Amino acid sequence: MKECEIFSSLRVPCGSKIVVRIDGRKFSNLSGELGLEKPYDEHFKDLIILTSKDFFKEFNPAFIYTFSDEINILLSEIPFSGRIEKMDSVFASFIAGSFTKNIYKTEESVKKPISFDSRIIPLQKAGVVEYFKERQNEAWRNCINGYAYWTLRKEFSKKDATEILRNKKSNELHEILFKSGINLAELPAWQRRGIGIYKKEVIIDGYNPLEKKRTQSMRKKVYVDYDLPLFHIGFFDKLM
Ligand SMILES: Nc1nc2c(ncn2[C@@H]2O[C@H](COP(=O)(O)OP(=O)(O)O)[C@@H](O)[C@H]2O)c(=O)[nH]1
Ligand SMILES: [Mg+2]
């Protein structure tokens, strides 16, 4: 029956960079079940970061970018001989397992098993920069819409708030928010621009007992960047 496993030999194209996007399944429902703060919940954000760091430790990617319930991973090398089925299934299940493990470390619990979908995106180097710029634009749209929706919901029904949101331009949304005391430009950078996880050189202080001297050395450590710039080519030069 081996010949029926027709997708197992499907591989990523040779020579391309690989991005994997992993997204929580039915996380709108999960958000209600866990009673997450709207539009942004600090603990949920911490859970996604812990999960991304677990992924980093296991698979050592070049870069992870996350906002809301999505985790974008730029791989540093191609695992599983580039087999798509292997990557999609192992990565999505690893993230679901890690997220579940991390949620049970808190006092929270979930009624139903958690799952994530996963997709593989082969790109050239310029495409990688474009890809992350696009996701960062999506994070920004998500930020404006999230704040605008939950501000409107104080006054309007679900249906009406959605309708108002659909018909308003971005500057009108800024206006609505400004009137209710929310200045989008002053929101934390992680909400506006998303969060990056990557290796960064840090100085490690040590002590040499033989020479009885303090020492300093450079080491690369996994770093969580809550204050990302707007993505540009220079940011990725260091990572790939
Ligand atoms: N309240 C709250 N909800 C969040 C937060 N982050 C993600 N979510 C939820 O996760 C959903 C992610 O969007 P999407 O993937 O399109 O929805 P899904 O198909 O239900 O997973 C959002 O619509 C929110 O309901 C958060 O910080 N707070
Ligand atoms: Mg989702």
Report yes or no on 162 lying in a domain. no
Report yes or no on 212 lying in a domain. no
Report yes or no on 121 lying in a domain. yes
Distance from Cα 131 to the centre of ligand 1, integer Å: 21
Of the chain, the percentage scoring pLDDT greater than 90 comes to: 95
Report which bound ligand comes closest to the CA of 31.
1
Per-residue confidence (pLDDT) for residue 183, from 0 to 100:
94
Report yes or no on 220 lying in a domain. no
CA triple 193-48-226, angle to 5 deg: 35
Does residue 109 have a pLDDT over 90? no
Claim: this prediction has a pTM higher than 0.85: yes
DSSP the chain: -GGG-TTTT-BPPTT-EEEEEEEETTHHHHHHHHT--SS--HHHHHHHHHHHHHHHHHH--SEEEEETTEEEEE-SS--GGGBHHHHHHHHHHHHHHHHHHHHHHSS---SS---EEEEEEEE-HHHHHHHHHHHHHHHHHHHHHHHHHHHHTTTS-HHHHHHHHHH--HHHHHHHHHHTT--GGGS-HHHHH-EEEEEEEEEEEEEETTTTEEEEEEEEEEEEESS-----HHHHHTT-
Q: Using one digit for the tens of pLDDT, what is the confidence trace for 141-150?
A: 999 999 999 9
Q: Using one digit for the tens of pLDDT, what is the confidence trace for 35-49?
A: 999 999 999 999 999
Report yes or no on 87 lying in a domain. yes
Q: Using one digit for the tens of pLDDT, what is the confidence trace for 43-69?
A: 999 999 999 999 999 999 999 999 999
29, 32, 73, 92, 148 from 119: Cα distances, Å: 22, 26, 10, 9, 30
Strand partners, 65: 72, 196
How far is it, in rounded angstroms, from Cα 74 to Cα 108?
30
The count of other CB atoms within 10 Å of the CB of residue 189 is 13
Report yes or no on 138 lying in a domain. no
Per-residue confidence (pLDDT) for residue 43, from 0 to 100:
97
Q: Using one digit for the tens of pLDDT, what is the confidence trace for 159-207?
A: 999 999 999 998 999 999 999 999 999 999 999 999 999 999 989 999 9
Mutate to test the pocket of ligand 1, among 21, 26, 28 (most ligand atoms within 8 A of CB): 28
Closest ligand 1 atom, residue 23 Cα: 15
Q: What is the CATH number of the domain that holds 19?
A: 3.30.70.3000
Instruction: Print the domain residue range for 29.
Output: 10-129+189-193
Report yes or no on 224 lying in a domain. no
Does residue 87 have a pLDDT over 90? yes
Closest ligand 1 atom, residue 26 Cα: 20
Under 8 Å between Cβ of 110 and 33: yes
Report yes or no on 78 lying in a domain. yes
Per-residue confidence (pLDDT) for residue 74, from 0 to 100:
98
Q: Which residues line ligand 1 (CB under 6 A)?
A: 23-28, 31, 36-41, 44, 68-69
Q: Into how many domains does the chain fold?
A: 1
Q: Using one digit for the tens of pLDDT, what is the confidence trace for 16-38?
A: 999 999 999 999 999 999 999 99
Closest Cα partner for 88 from 67, 115, 66, 64?
A: 115
Does residue 107 have a pLDDT over 90? no
